[in-house]
Structure 1
Amino acid sequence: MTDKTPPPQVWPTLQAADARGMIRFLVDVFGFEETVVHGDGDVVEHAELSWPLGGGIMLGSDREGKVWSLRPGTFGCYVVCDDPDELYSRAKNAGAEIIEELNETGYGSRGFIVRDPEGNLWSFGTYRGEPTAT
């Protein structure tokens, strides 16, 4: 049986002062998978990182004169994960700034909030959202 799930059609995006460093952090600490990176030297024109449970993000280097411009450190994202305890441990061991400790929410999620080296906020938890009406 093959998975017929369509690829994600909503891509959160961010820009980074050190895009290659950000990619390494997101892959090595959070567990994103590097799908593609376009660019030369320190400049990343376009990168896609996949999340193992589905979806992904796009990012690139912060550069003068871009039409699509987001100040580094202004991004925030919620990411579903199966093992928040293990991910929390990895983030803490890597020196990531913990904004909210691992906890249980009133809506049935277990998770935490962390700031990456560029100042972006990441919330990881087990809550998968409410089912949509079909």
Structure 2
Amino acid sequence: MTLQATDAPALIDFYVDTFGFVVAARYGDGDTVHHAQLNWPDGAGGIMLGTHRPGAAWSRQPGTAGAYVVTTDPDTLYERVLQHGADVVRPLAKTDYGAREFAVRDPEGNLWSFGDHAGEPTPT
């Protein structure tokens, strides 16, 4: 997943403090982030993000993304996001397919859903 942000340094801090992402790389000058890599500590995967640059070849409007992140412990993560005052848009609950999930909106407006449903295996 790649994101662009109006205030990339603040968004990186939010993802690290509130969600628990780990900064693997961050390049830029001052408040401009040219590229950052944040890894998800609960398994494979992560996100790339940087400062929004209107008119660039790879430009998207900040705050329009949505993502689902698999976590082995949604209850503990939910408590963490509550402690950090995240904007919860769907409280932690069990789904009809047996997962425990919740959703939040980040400071830029992106929607994040976290849960323990890793998906179904690929049919053979």
Alignment TM class, shorter chain as reference: over 0.9
Q: Corresponding residue for 1:80?
A: 70
Q: TM-score, normalised by structure 1?
A: 0.88
Select the residue among 81, 93, 98 that pairs with 1:103: 93
Q: Corresponding residue for 1:90?
A: 80
Per-residue deviation, 1:99: 0.3
1:44 correspondence with 2:4: no
1:125 correspondence with 2:115: yes
SS of structure 2 residue aligned to 1:14: strand
Q: Distance in 2 between matches of 1:80 and 1:113?
A: 12
Select the residue among 101, 115, 123 that pairs with 2:105: 115
1:15 correspondence with 2:4: yes
Q: Distance in 1 between matches of 2:54 and 2:117?
A: 38
Across the aligned residues of Structure 1 and Structure 2, the Cα RMSD in angstroms comes to 1.0
Identity of aligned residues (%): 58
User: Which residue identity lines up with residue 98 of structure 1 in the other structure?
Assistant: V
1:58 correspondence with 2:48: yes
Q: Distance in 1 between matches of 2:3 and 2:116?
A: 23
SS of structure 1 residue aligned to 2:72: coil
For structure 1, the residue ranges without an aligned partner over 5 or more in a row are 1-11
Q: TM-score, normalised by structure 2?
A: 0.95
